[in-house]
């Protein structure tokens, strides 16, 4: 299959050099067809780096024909192949070109999708910048659900990088937005829960007793805003138990609360990290009292 792909690529390049075509588009169309056929062979063979090059050459021929839609489509496919080949740098470069095309043509939804794709494969501030762009594009088109999804990815990234205050603010902001949307209201409790876990992760040993009061006030505020965040829910129960454990300076009770909740409603790795930071701070506080 790889050899067939190589032969098709060679045939495509040869077609571009031929002079007997009456119209320029004839030879570019012929080459384009060969390059696209080559991508199929390379993908089937699992040679994704060559599939990426073949899609890029197809995009080049689309550019010769002034086909912007084709350029964007094939560059995006090339970027995806580079990702499969573990060449993130090349993928990002091509995705940025695709974004420029969609942005120029005022295709906001497509631009948003590409921004989100770049945000997911880059890191740090660059990832945040692209995800924020994606959210703004979605919001400009009235796509609240997609905008919220992207903003929550930003919140998760903030939490994973240790910026728990920013993560908390975004979770809370999205929870409040969910309360105003009938379709999304059921998510508000879980977003408030994540905001509280992020708040726990911001607590400091030196100010632990003051910090837990802030956590308690935040918890009470969320209950007033969302009546479904009540004592019958597991999220309410574990936050109540964690607050009591911190106030009573009881590390064992804190661990028991986490273990009991996790056995019934498994915490994801990010949530575990946040509650374990709280445990570490409580440990330090208790040890300093000895």
Alpha-carbon distance 160 to 271, whole Å? Answer: 10
pTM here?
Answer: 0.81
Query: How far apart are the C-alpha atoms of 185 and 182, rounded to whole Å?
Result: 5
Q: How many helices (H) and strands (E) does the chain have?
A: 14, 0
Show contacts of 138-141: CB within 8 Å, 24+ apart.
138/108, 138/109, 138/112, 140/108, 141/108, 141/109, 141/112
- Judge whether 41 and 7 are in contact, CB under 8 Å: no
Decide: residue 41, CB within 10 A, 0-12 exposed, 13-18 middle, 19+ buried. Answer: buried
What is the DSSP secondary structure assignment for residue 107, as one 8-state letter?
-
Spatial CB neighbours of 273, under 8 Å, sequence gap ≥ 6: 159, 160, 201
CB atoms within 10 A of CB 233: 16
**Residues in contact with 92: Cβ distance below 8 Å, sequence separation at least 6, in sequence order:** 79, 118, 121, 122
Give the tens place of pLDDT for each residue, 189-233: 999 999 999 999 999 999 999 999 999 999 999 999 999 999 999
pLDDT tens, residue by residue, 114-132: 999 999 999 888 999 999 9
- Across the chain, the runs of DSSP E, i.e. the strands, are none
Best CA proximity match to 218, nearest among 165, 268, 181, 258:
165
C-alpha–C-alpha distance, residues 188 and 175, integer Å: 4
Assess whether pLDDT exceeds 90 at residue 1.
no
In Å, how far are 102, 197, 198, 229, 262 from 271, measured between CA atoms?
36, 7, 8, 18, 10
Share the mean pLDDT of the chain: 93
Max intra-chain CA distance, the chain: 91
At 87-112, the pLDDT tens digits run 999 999 999 999 999 999 999 999 99
How does residue 149 score in pLDDT terms, banded at 50, 70 and 90?
very high
Cα 90 to chain centroid, rounded: 19
Distance CA 151, CA 167 (A): 10
pLDDT, position 22: 45
pLDDT of 24 reads 52
- Answer CATH for 162-290 from 1.10.3080.10, 1.10.1040.10, 1.25.40.10, 1.20.1290.10: 1.25.40.10
For helices 144-160 and 188-201, angle between their N-to-C axes, nearest 10 degrees:
20
Residue 103, both tokens: 């942005």
């Amino acid at each position: 299959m790889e050899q067939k792909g190589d032969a098709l690529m060679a045939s495509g390049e040869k077609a571009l050099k031929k002079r007997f075509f009456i119209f320029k588009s004839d030879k570019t169309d012929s080459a384009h067809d060969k390059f696209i056929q080559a991508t199929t062979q390379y993908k089937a063979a699992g040679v994704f780096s060559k599939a990426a090059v073949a899609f890029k050459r197809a995009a080049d021929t689309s550019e010769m024909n002034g086909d912007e839609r084709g350029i964007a489509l094939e560059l995006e496919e090339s970027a995806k192949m580079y990702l499969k080949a573990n060449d993130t740098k090349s993928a990002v470069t091509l995705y940025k070109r695709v974004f420029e095309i969609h942005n120029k043509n005022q295709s906001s939804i497509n631009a948003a999708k590409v921004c989100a794709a770049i945000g997911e494969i880059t890191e740090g501030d660059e990832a945040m910048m692209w995800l924020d762009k994606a959210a703004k594009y979605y919001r400009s088109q009235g796509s609240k659900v997609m905008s919220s999804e992207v903003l929550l990815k930003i919140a998760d990234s903030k939490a994973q990088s240790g910026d728990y205050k920013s993560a908390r603010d975004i979770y809370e902001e999205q929870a409040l937005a969910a309360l105003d949307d009938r379709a999304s209201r059921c998510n508000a409790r879980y977003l408030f829960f994540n905001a509280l876990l992020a708040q726990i992760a911001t607590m400091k040993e030196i100010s632990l007793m003051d910090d837990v009061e802030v956590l308690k006030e935040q918890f009470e505020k969320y209950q007033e805003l969302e009546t479904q965040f009540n004592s019958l829910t597991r999220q309410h129960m574990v936050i109540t138990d964690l607050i009591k454990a911190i106030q009573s300076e009881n590390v064992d009770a804190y661990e028991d609360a986490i273990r009991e909740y996790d056995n019934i409603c498994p915490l994801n790795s990010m949530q575990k990290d946040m509650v374990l930071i709280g445990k570490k701070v409580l440990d330090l506080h208790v040890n300093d009292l000895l």
